[in-house]
Amino acid sequence: LGREIHYFGAIDSTQHKAHELAKGGAPHGTVIIADQQAGGKGRMGRPWHSPAGTGIWMSILLRPELPLYRCPQLTLLAAVAVVQAIRETTGVRAEIKWPNDILVEQKKLCGILTELNAETDQINYLIIGIGMNVNTEDFPSELRDIATSLRIQVGTPVKRIPLIQRILENLEKLYKLYIEYGFSPIKSLWEAHANTIGKRVVLRQLHGSLEGLAIGINEEGTLLVRKDNGEIEKVYSADIENASS
Ligand code: BTN
Protein backbone atom coordinates (compact mmCIF):
# COMPACT_ATOMS: atom_id res chain seq x y z
CA LEU A 1 0.00 0.00 0.00
CA GLY A 2 1.04 3.59 -0.51
CA ARG A 3 3.32 2.98 -3.48
CA GLU A 4 1.34 5.77 -5.14
CA ILE A 5 0.64 8.70 -2.81
CA HIS A 6 -1.20 11.86 -3.89
CA TYR A 7 -0.77 14.78 -1.51
CA PHE A 8 -2.89 17.95 -1.59
CA GLY A 9 -2.54 21.10 0.51
CA ALA A 10 -6.25 21.75 0.19
CA ILE A 11 -9.00 19.71 -1.47
CA ASP A 12 -12.78 19.33 -1.22
CA SER A 13 -12.64 15.71 -0.06
CA THR A 14 -9.97 13.00 -0.39
CA GLN A 15 -12.90 10.57 -0.84
CA HIS A 16 -14.04 12.36 -4.02
CA LYS A 17 -10.49 12.47 -5.34
CA ALA A 18 -10.07 8.75 -4.62
CA HIS A 19 -13.22 7.90 -6.63
CA GLU A 20 -11.95 10.03 -9.50
CA LEU A 21 -8.53 8.33 -9.47
CA ALA A 22 -10.13 4.87 -9.11
CA LYS A 23 -12.33 5.48 -12.16
CA GLY A 24 -9.17 6.54 -14.04
CA GLY A 25 -7.56 3.15 -13.25
CA ALA A 26 -5.40 4.00 -10.20
CA PRO A 27 -3.87 0.85 -8.67
CA HIS A 28 -4.73 -1.03 -5.46
CA GLY A 29 -3.12 0.73 -2.50
CA THR A 30 -3.24 4.28 -3.90
CA VAL A 31 -3.30 6.78 -1.02
CA ILE A 32 -4.71 10.32 -1.10
CA ILE A 33 -3.78 12.69 1.73
CA ALA A 34 -4.78 16.31 2.26
CA ASP A 35 -3.78 18.89 4.84
CA GLN A 36 -7.22 20.47 4.73
CA GLN A 37 -10.65 19.56 3.29
CA ALA A 38 -13.33 22.09 2.46
CA GLY A 39 -16.02 19.43 2.05
CA GLY A 40 -14.94 16.55 4.31
CA LYS A 41 -17.62 13.83 4.39
CA GLY A 42 -18.64 11.70 7.36
CA ARG A 43 -20.93 8.66 7.60
CA MET A 44 -24.67 9.07 6.99
CA GLY A 45 -24.12 12.19 4.85
CA ARG A 46 -22.74 14.24 7.73
CA PRO A 47 -19.98 16.84 7.23
CA TRP A 48 -16.51 16.11 8.64
CA HIS A 49 -14.61 18.99 10.25
CA SER A 50 -11.18 18.96 8.51
CA PRO A 51 -9.17 22.12 9.28
CA ALA A 52 -5.60 22.73 8.05
CA GLY A 53 -2.60 21.27 9.79
CA THR A 54 -4.30 19.47 12.63
CA GLY A 55 -5.49 16.13 11.35
CA ILE A 56 -4.94 13.09 9.16
CA TRP A 57 -7.40 13.32 6.29
CA MET A 58 -6.64 10.32 4.10
CA SER A 59 -8.34 7.91 1.69
CA ILE A 60 -7.01 4.54 0.60
CA LEU A 61 -8.09 2.76 -2.57
CA LEU A 62 -8.36 -1.04 -2.35
CA ARG A 63 -9.18 -3.41 -5.17
CA PRO A 64 -9.89 -6.72 -3.43
CA GLU A 65 -11.09 -9.55 -5.62
CA LEU A 66 -13.87 -10.44 -3.23
CA PRO A 67 -17.64 -10.75 -3.15
CA LEU A 68 -19.69 -7.79 -2.01
CA TYR A 69 -20.80 -9.32 1.30
CA ARG A 70 -17.21 -9.14 2.59
CA CYS A 71 -17.10 -5.34 2.48
CA PRO A 72 -18.06 -4.79 6.17
CA GLN A 73 -15.17 -7.04 7.20
CA LEU A 74 -12.70 -4.72 5.46
CA THR A 75 -14.18 -1.74 7.30
CA LEU A 76 -13.60 -3.49 10.63
CA LEU A 77 -10.08 -4.40 9.51
CA ALA A 78 -9.31 -0.72 8.89
CA ALA A 79 -10.46 0.18 12.40
CA VAL A 80 -8.09 -2.42 13.87
CA ALA A 81 -5.17 -1.04 11.82
CA VAL A 82 -5.85 2.48 13.08
CA VAL A 83 -6.40 1.63 16.73
CA GLN A 84 -3.17 -0.40 16.77
CA ALA A 85 -1.24 2.43 15.09
CA ILE A 86 -2.48 4.92 17.70
CA ARG A 87 -1.42 2.64 20.54
CA GLU A 88 1.96 1.80 18.98
CA THR A 89 2.97 5.39 18.20
CA THR A 90 1.47 7.30 21.15
CA GLY A 91 0.52 4.76 23.83
CA VAL A 92 -3.07 6.07 23.79
CA ARG A 93 -5.48 3.20 24.40
CA ALA A 94 -8.32 4.03 22.07
CA GLU A 95 -11.36 1.77 21.64
CA ILE A 96 -13.54 0.89 18.69
CA LYS A 97 -17.25 1.63 18.78
CA TRP A 98 -19.11 -0.48 16.23
CA PRO A 99 -18.62 -0.38 13.36
CA ASN A 100 -15.54 1.81 13.17
CA ASP A 101 -15.53 4.94 15.30
CA ILE A 102 -12.40 5.28 17.36
CA LEU A 103 -12.98 6.76 20.78
CA VAL A 104 -11.00 7.75 23.83
CA GLU A 105 -12.93 8.30 27.04
CA GLN A 106 -16.18 8.11 25.02
CA LYS A 107 -15.09 11.00 22.77
CA LYS A 108 -14.44 10.59 19.07
CA LEU A 109 -10.81 10.68 17.99
CA CYS A 110 -11.17 9.18 14.53
CA GLY A 111 -13.89 8.23 12.06
CA ILE A 112 -13.74 5.84 9.12
CA LEU A 113 -15.94 6.06 6.04
CA THR A 114 -15.95 3.11 3.66
CA GLU A 115 -17.38 3.65 0.20
CA LEU A 116 -17.94 0.91 -2.28
CA ASN A 117 -18.10 0.54 -6.02
CA ALA A 118 -19.47 -2.84 -7.03
CA GLU A 119 -20.64 -4.73 -10.08
CA THR A 120 -23.43 -7.18 -9.35
CA ASP A 121 -22.06 -9.17 -6.40
CA GLN A 122 -18.32 -8.48 -6.73
CA ILE A 123 -16.37 -5.59 -5.22
CA ASN A 124 -14.94 -3.43 -7.98
CA TYR A 125 -13.11 -1.09 -5.63
CA LEU A 126 -13.36 0.17 -2.09
CA ILE A 127 -12.31 3.49 -0.61
CA ILE A 128 -11.43 3.66 3.05
CA GLY A 129 -11.49 7.24 4.33
CA ILE A 130 -9.77 7.91 7.63
CA GLY A 131 -10.26 11.17 9.50
CA MET A 132 -8.21 11.55 12.68
CA ASN A 133 -8.03 14.54 15.00
CA VAL A 134 -4.31 14.70 15.76
CA ASN A 135 -3.22 18.16 16.90
CA THR A 136 -6.57 19.87 17.35
CA GLU A 137 -6.42 22.00 20.50
CA ASP A 138 -9.92 23.34 20.44
CA PHE A 139 -13.02 22.15 18.61
CA PRO A 140 -15.98 24.22 17.45
CA SER A 141 -18.59 24.41 20.21
CA GLU A 142 -20.89 21.77 18.66
CA LEU A 143 -18.04 19.21 18.73
CA ARG A 144 -16.36 20.17 22.02
CA ASP A 145 -18.21 17.64 24.17
CA ILE A 146 -18.09 14.76 21.71
CA ALA A 147 -14.67 15.00 20.04
CA THR A 148 -11.08 14.69 21.19
CA SER A 149 -7.61 14.71 19.63
CA LEU A 150 -4.34 12.92 20.25
CA ARG A 151 -2.80 16.20 21.38
CA ILE A 152 -5.52 16.64 23.99
CA GLN A 153 -4.95 13.07 25.18
CA VAL A 154 -1.13 13.10 25.17
CA GLY A 155 -0.62 16.72 26.24
CA THR A 156 2.00 17.50 23.57
CA PRO A 157 1.94 17.80 19.75
CA VAL A 158 1.96 14.47 17.88
CA LYS A 159 3.82 13.97 14.57
CA ARG A 160 1.48 12.98 11.78
CA ILE A 161 3.89 11.29 9.35
CA PRO A 162 5.00 8.37 11.59
CA LEU A 163 1.34 7.79 12.42
CA ILE A 164 0.34 7.71 8.75
CA GLN A 165 3.21 5.29 8.02
CA ARG A 166 2.13 3.02 10.85
CA ILE A 167 -1.51 3.02 9.75
CA LEU A 168 -0.47 1.99 6.23
CA GLU A 169 1.94 -0.69 7.49
CA ASN A 170 -0.72 -2.14 9.78
CA LEU A 171 -3.33 -2.07 7.03
CA GLU A 172 -0.99 -3.91 4.69
CA LYS A 173 -0.11 -6.52 7.34
CA LEU A 174 -3.74 -7.11 8.36
CA TYR A 175 -4.90 -7.19 4.74
CA LYS A 176 -2.37 -9.95 3.97
CA LEU A 177 -3.50 -11.87 7.05
CA TYR A 178 -7.12 -11.45 5.92
CA ILE A 179 -6.46 -12.62 2.36
CA GLU A 180 -4.52 -15.63 3.65
CA TYR A 181 -6.59 -16.71 6.67
CA GLY A 182 -9.97 -15.02 6.19
CA PHE A 183 -11.89 -12.87 8.64
CA SER A 184 -11.50 -14.90 11.82
CA PRO A 185 -8.11 -13.46 13.03
CA ILE A 186 -9.37 -9.95 12.24
CA LYS A 187 -12.61 -10.61 14.11
CA SER A 188 -10.67 -11.58 17.26
CA LEU A 189 -8.50 -8.46 17.05
CA TRP A 190 -11.53 -6.25 16.46
CA GLU A 191 -13.36 -7.75 19.43
CA ALA A 192 -10.29 -7.26 21.65
CA HIS A 193 -10.34 -3.51 20.90
CA ALA A 194 -14.12 -3.00 20.88
CA ASN A 195 -16.06 -1.18 23.56
CA THR A 196 -19.50 -2.19 22.28
CA ILE A 197 -19.68 -5.91 22.97
CA GLY A 198 -21.42 -6.98 26.17
CA LYS A 199 -23.15 -3.60 26.52
CA ARG A 200 -26.78 -2.58 26.20
CA VAL A 201 -27.12 -0.41 23.14
CA VAL A 202 -29.71 1.71 21.38
CA LEU A 203 -29.59 1.47 17.60
CA ARG A 204 -30.88 4.30 15.49
CA GLN A 205 -31.71 3.13 12.01
CA LEU A 206 -33.55 4.74 9.14
CA HIS A 207 -36.83 3.02 10.05
CA GLY A 208 -36.72 3.54 13.82
CA SER A 209 -34.76 2.58 16.88
CA LEU A 210 -34.16 -0.65 18.75
CA GLU A 211 -32.63 -1.54 22.09
CA GLY A 212 -30.82 -4.68 23.19
CA LEU A 213 -27.58 -6.31 24.28
CA ALA A 214 -24.68 -6.24 21.78
CA ILE A 215 -23.46 -9.83 21.96
CA GLY A 216 -20.77 -9.86 19.27
CA ILE A 217 -20.09 -9.75 15.57
CA ASN A 218 -20.59 -12.70 13.30
CA GLU A 219 -18.36 -14.16 10.59
CA GLU A 220 -19.66 -11.61 8.08
CA GLY A 221 -18.76 -8.66 10.32
CA THR A 222 -22.39 -7.91 11.18
CA LEU A 223 -23.27 -6.76 14.71
CA LEU A 224 -25.51 -9.15 16.65
CA VAL A 225 -27.94 -7.62 19.12
CA ARG A 226 -30.15 -9.69 21.44
CA LYS A 227 -33.48 -7.96 21.88
CA ASP A 228 -35.43 -8.20 25.14
CA ASN A 229 -37.74 -10.80 23.61
CA GLY A 230 -34.69 -13.01 23.05
CA GLU A 231 -34.58 -12.61 19.27
CA ILE A 232 -31.18 -11.92 17.73
CA GLU A 233 -31.11 -9.02 15.30
CA LYS A 234 -28.37 -8.74 12.67
CA VAL A 235 -27.38 -5.10 12.27
CA TYR A 236 -25.75 -4.02 9.02
CA SER A 237 -25.85 -0.27 9.43
CA ALA A 238 -26.92 2.04 12.25
CA ASP A 239 -25.80 4.66 14.70
CA ILE A 240 -25.42 3.17 18.14
CA GLU A 241 -25.38 4.59 21.63
CA ASN A 242 -24.97 2.98 25.00
CA ALA A 243 -28.38 2.53 26.59
CA SER A 244 -28.99 4.64 29.67
CA SER A 245 -30.37 1.84 31.83
C1 BTN B 1 -17.36 9.31 10.25
O2 BTN B 1 -18.44 9.85 10.01
O3 BTN B 1 -17.06 8.95 11.38
C4 BTN B 1 -16.35 9.09 9.12
C5 BTN B 1 -15.44 10.27 8.89
C6 BTN B 1 -14.47 10.08 7.75
C7 BTN B 1 -13.67 11.31 7.45
C8 BTN B 1 -12.57 11.07 6.44
S9 BTN B 1 -11.39 12.37 6.34
C10 BTN B 1 -10.67 11.63 4.93
C11 BTN B 1 -11.83 11.12 4.08
N12 BTN B 1 -12.32 12.19 3.22
C13 BTN B 1 -13.56 12.55 3.55
O14 BTN B 1 -14.23 13.45 2.98
N15 BTN B 1 -14.02 11.80 4.57
C16 BTN B 1 -13.02 10.83 5.01
Binding positions are 37, 108
DSSP for residue 231: P
Claim to verify: residue 39 and residue 141 sit in the same structural domain: yes
> For residue 93, what are the contacts with CB-CB under 8 A and spacing of at least 6?
87, 104
How many angstroms separate the CA atoms of 187 and 161, rounded?
A: 28
Claim to verify: residue 27 and residue 145 sit in the same structural domain: yes
Ligand 1 centroid, distance to 153 Cα (angstroms): 21
Predicted confidence at residue 76, as pLDDT, reads 94
Q: Could you give the ipTM of this predicted complex?
A: 0.99
Task: Please check whether residue 102 is in contact with residue 108, taking contact to mean a CB–CB distance below 8 angstroms.
Answer: yes
How many angstroms separate the CA atoms of 108 and 118, rounded?
A: 30
Claim to verify: residue 90 and residue 211 sit in the same structural domain: no
Claim to verify: residue 78 and residue 188 sit in the same structural domain: yes
Ordered strands of the 223-227 beta sheet: 232-235, 223-227, 208-217, 200-205, 239-242
Claim to verify: residue 28 and residue 134 sit in the same structural domain: yes
Q: Is the CB of 131 under 6 A from ligand 1?
A: yes
Claim to verify: residue 79 and residue 168 sit in the same structural domain: yes
CATH number of the domain bearing residue 19 = 3.30.930.10
Domain with 237, as residue range(s), is 200-242
Ligand 1 centroid, distance to 35 Cα (angstroms): 13
Claim to verify: residue 175 and residue 210 sit in the same structural domain: no
Binding positions for biotin are 37, 108
Q: Which atom of ligand 1 is nearest to the CA of 55?
A: 9
Claim to verify: residue 56 and residue 105 sit in the same structural domain: yes
Claim to verify: residue 42 and residue 89 sit in the same structural domain: yes
Claim to verify: residue 143 and residue 237 sit in the same structural domain: no
| Minimal-distance CA residue to ligand 1 atom 11 | 129
Domain count, the chain: 2
Claim to verify: residue 151 and residue 174 sit in the same structural domain: yes
The preferred substitution site among 50, 98, 146, 167 for testing ligand 1, maximizing ligand atoms within 8 Å of CB, is: 50
Q: Is the CB of 37 under 6 A from ligand 1?
A: yes
Q: Is the CB of 153 under 6 A from ligand 1?
A: no
pLDDT tens by residue, the chain, 245 residues: 878 999 999 999 999 999 999 999 999 999 999 999 999 999 988 999 999 999 999 999 999 999 998 999 999 999 999 999 999 999 999 999 988 899 999 999 999 999 999 988 999 999 999 999 999 999 999 999 999 999 999 999 999 999 999 999 999 999 999 999 999 999 999 999 999 899 999 988 777 888 999 999 998 889 999 999 999 999 887 778 877 64
CATH number of the domain bearing residue 204 = 2.30.30.100
Q: Is the CB of 43 under 6 A from ligand 1?
A: yes
Claim to verify: residue 13 and residue 127 sit in the same structural domain: yes
